[in-house]
Amino acid sequence: MNRLGAVVTKGVANIPWEGNPTPRIAEVTGGMLNAIGLQNPGIDVFCKRDIPFLKQYDTKIIVNVCGKTEKDYLEVVERLADESINMMEINISCPNVKEGGIAFGQNPKAIEQITSAVKKVAKQPVIMKLSPNVTDITEMARAAEAGGADVLSLINTLTGMKIDIHRRKFAIANKTGGMSGPAVKPIAVRMVYQVAQAVNVPIIGMGGIASADDAIEFILAGATAVSVGTANFMRPDTTIQVVDGIQAYMERYGVKDIKELVGAVNQ
């Protein structure tokens, strides 16, 4: 943890959420589906238990925030204002909950509205996390920027489905789940590139990163930082390999500052 730029937490809401019925994860070719449904202990337990745990490490803390209504989100953001966390990431892109989440993230007006509402109460920089389950992600990115987002992160998972043909049952109780892992990477890189052309705020890129090479693709496409989710299930040391591998790449190509690589794909 001490070697990581930051740790992004699981989503936290104003009150505890149980999440969806099980089964709620399934392996698929090149990745996984999940429909956890944002199970979390609620902001009280999170502040008492999880922030002190994370503070033991020399890394920045980014808290992922979820909610069903604007009021829910704002309650969490207000509670976090006086906590010693570094940034917050507003999840308006979860495909696995009926209310909130993606209901905000697929509508540019709603994105702009919730972003500016969060910015009014937040004391830390605000990252808006975008969904790939839209026709034009640049429209959503512009709306978040217009609402005052400090940073954008993308992508969240792509809605998918898996059926067990022998039981003739859905592999996931929720029927649909969010697809993540290596198979989504080309989509994520494309979206990061498009968003980088459309806005002026920094981008945190994610979606299928499992190696330094993957991370460097995102950076060349326009990401200022990257994050790793699903790959941790297979190799818990993936992030360290990414850090070491980026450094090795920079030495190999004589890159002195990582900033030289951001968006540096030849046009």
Ligand X SMILES: Cc1cc2nc3c(=O)[nH]c(=O)nc-3n(C[C@H](O)[C@H](O)[C@H](O)COP(=O)(O)O)c2cc1C
Least distance to ligand X from the beta carbon of 266, Å?
A: 26
Pick 64 or 115: Cβ nearer ligand X = 64
Which residue sits closest to ligand X, CB atoms considered? 229
> Computed from CA positions of residues 112, 18, 55, 78, in that sequence, does the dihedral angle turn out positive or negative?
positive
Does residue 205 touch ligand X according to CB under 6 A?
Answer: no
Does residue 229 touch ligand X according to CB under 6 A?
Answer: yes
Alpha helix positions (H), 21-148: 43-45, 51-55, 70-80, 102-105, 108-121, 137-146
Could you confirm whether 66 is annotated as catalytic? Answer: no
Does residue 239 touch ligand X according to CB under 6 A?
Answer: no
Interface pick for ligand X out of 108, 160, 202, 208 (rule CB under 6 A): 208
Does residue 101 touch ligand X according to CB under 6 A?
Answer: no
Stretch that binds ligand X, among 107-115, 133-141, 226-234, 235-243 (CB under 6 A): 226-234
Interface pick for ligand X out of 20, 115, 157, 174 (rule CB under 6 A): 157
Q: What one-letter code names the amino acid at 203?
A: I
Within 10 A of 61 (CB to CB), how many other CB atoms are there? 21
Whole-number Å distance between alpha carbons of 229 and 53: 20
Does residue 34 touch ligand X according to CB under 6 A?
Answer: yes
Does residue 38 touch ligand X according to CB under 6 A?
Answer: yes
Pick 89 or 145: Cβ nearer ligand X = 89
H or E element at residue 90: strand 87-91
Cβ partners under 8 Å of residue 51, min gap 6: 61, 83, 84, 85
The residues annotated with a catalytic role in the active site are: 94
